[in-house]
Amino acid sequence: MTAEGGVVTTTVDDILKWGRTNSLWPLTFGLACCAMEMMAAGAADYDLERFGCGVFRATPRQSDLMIVAGTVTMKMAARIRTLYDQMPEPK
């Protein structure tokens, strides 16, 4: 990326890399009615996309942030820990 005379020139790859680096990719884990509120936050009325928080991911290997919506019981704790451990660094 270079700046000459107030004009910045770059490549499309650098712009896409910058966008991916500075965006959140959340993993959702809905356990109760709180999951409905989480889905509503991603819908058109609130539109989290405009704040740089991308589409909710279905796999932990593509996510930066884990949102657990609902009450975590002892039975679910092991599964949540497994999903958390599968997420890439930084978490």
Output the six-digit token pair for 37. 């509120």
From first to last of its 91 residues, what are the pLDDT tens digits of the chain? Answer: 666 677 878 888 887 788 777 777 888 888 888 888 877 877 777 777 777 666 777 788 888 888 888 889 999 999 999 999 999 887 7
Output the six-digit token pair for 4. 């000459």
Domains of the chain: 9-86 (3.40.50.12280)
Burial 21-48 (b: 16+ CB within 10 A, else e): eeeebbbbbbeeeebeebeebbeeeeeb
